[in-house]
């Protein structure tokens, strides 16, 4: 088997069903451990992952992409995010100037003449409604600096972004313990032709390990409540396989981005997707049932 590829919504971008999130590389490896970042990035590309998702505020992530895989630019779909005032940038977050400058900086850092996707990085509903940063993003698309534009975020802001007609893609939280997008976002996004990118698809590995320190308290509590309902019928023994298999069981999702700084984790994640999926439908349905029974008041993790 080989990596499944999907068309990202109504774009012409062909993306791997498993994508690579680059926050961990940017924050935890930094430039001092460039050799390890190089291995992660090149191993991902060699294994068939072609969707790389980064952001201007992910530490050294963009620079590491430029150093490690710029020479392979035609092999991957490059997505970044803009809007935050980062590092020593003197401007304010969520202005048109900040978005424009962020895009220019991303192009230079990643040593490329074009971006495939630039996403507004989880700005508020009020920022979206004001419209200044959306106009800056659309101007960049018109100028050919990015092929497509998207919104990365959750809850009411994500719903507004989907319904606005301005965006080509939506990146939003979705996993075993954070299924709200299934109820509130997927149908409308699909109907409007938006590509859907799942962030946090394994819920910070909280399922089966509710004390995981990397997961938010919210995710740990939800995992405990859902887990207290007993064993999940037909579930695989590996909780990571269950979590990833659950997310990718949803056809609305074009790609799910999993972040890691470990080349071995890249390899194991690819093997899961290529050889161990799909998981049993009975397990997926049971996890839907549990979430729906507890969902009152549960919002997406922002």
87 confidence band (pLDDT: 50, 70, 90): confident
The pLDDT score that the predictor gives to residue 28 is 86
Task: Give CA–CA dist 298/176, Å, rounded.
Answer: 13
Name which of 90, 18, 12 is nearest 52 in CA terms: 18
* Residue 275, phi then psi, degrees to nearest 5: -125, -15
pLDDT above 70 covers what percent of the chain?
Answer: 98
Overall average pLDDT of the 260-284 stretch = 95
Q: Is the pLDDT of residue 176 over 60?
A: yes
Under the banding of pLDDT at 50, 70 and 90, the label for residue 102 is very high
Say what the pLDDT of residue 198 is.
98
- pLDDT the model gives residue 209: 75
pLDDT band at 81 (very low <50, low <70, confident <90, very high): very high
Q: What is the mean pLDDT of the chain?
A: 94
* Confidence band for 200, pLDDT divided at 50, 70 and 90: very high
Lookup result for tokens 């309902």: 229
- The length of the chain is 302
- CA gap 156, 299 in Å, rounded: 10
Give me the mean pLDDT over the 141-145 stretch.
Answer: 97
The model's confidence at residue 244, banded by pLDDT at 50, 70 and 90, is very high
Please report the pLDDT score of residue 250 as a whole number: 98
What domains lie within the chain, and their CATH numbers? 5-294 (3.20.20.100)
Average pLDDT over residues 146-173: 98
Name the pLDDT band for 213 (thresholds 50, 70, 90).
low
| CB 188, CB 159: distance < 8 Å | yes
The mean per-residue pLDDT over the stretch 138-145 comes to 98
pLDDT average, residue stretch 20-25: 94
pLDDT at 210 over 60: no
Exposed, middle or buried by CB within 10 Å (0-12, 13-18, 19+), for 294?
Answer: middle
Task: Give the rounded percent of residues in the chain with a pLDDT score beyond 90.
Answer: 86
**pTM for the predicted model, two decimal places:** 0.96
* Average pLDDT over every residue of 16-36: 91
| pLDDT confidence band for 133 (50 / 70 / 90) | very high
């Amino acid at each position: 088997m080989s990596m499944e590829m999907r068309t990202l919504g109504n774009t012409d971008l062909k993306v791997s069903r498993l994508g690579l999130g680059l926050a961990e590389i940017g924050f935890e490896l930094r430039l001092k451990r460039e050799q390890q970042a190089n291995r992660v990035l090149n191993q991902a590309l060699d294994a068939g992952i072609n969707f790389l998702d980064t952001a201007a505020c992910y530490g050294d992530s963009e620079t590491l992409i430029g150093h490690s895989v710029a020479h392979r630019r035609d092999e991957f779909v490059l997505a970044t995010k803009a809007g935050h005032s980062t590092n020593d940038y003197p401007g304010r977050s969520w202005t048109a100037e900040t978005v424009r400058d962020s895009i220019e900086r991303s192009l230079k850092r990643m040593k490329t003449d074009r971006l495939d996707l630039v996403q507004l990085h989880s700005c508020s509903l009020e920022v979206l409604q004001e419209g200044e940063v959306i106009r800056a993003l659309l101007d960049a698309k018109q100028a050919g600096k990015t092929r497509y534009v998207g919104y990365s975020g959750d809850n009411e802001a994500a719903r507004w972004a989907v319904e606005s007609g301005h965006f080509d893609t939506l990146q939003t939280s979705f996993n075993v313990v954070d299924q709200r997008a299934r109820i509130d976002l997927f149908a409308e996004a699909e109907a409007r032709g938006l590509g859907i990118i799942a962030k946090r698809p394994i819920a910070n590995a909280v399922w089966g390990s509710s004390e995981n320190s990397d997961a938010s308290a919210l995710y740990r509590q939800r995992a405990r409540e859902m887990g207290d309902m007993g064993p999940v019928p037909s579930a695989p023994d590996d909780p990571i396989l269950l979590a990833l298999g659950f997310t990718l069981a949803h056809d609305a999702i074009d790609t799910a981005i999993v972040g890691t700084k470990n080349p071995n984790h890249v390899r194991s994640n690819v093997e899961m997707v290529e050889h161990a999926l799909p998981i049993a439908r009975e397990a997926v349905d049971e996890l839907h049932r549990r979430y729906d029974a507890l969902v009152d008041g549960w919002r997406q993790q922002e």
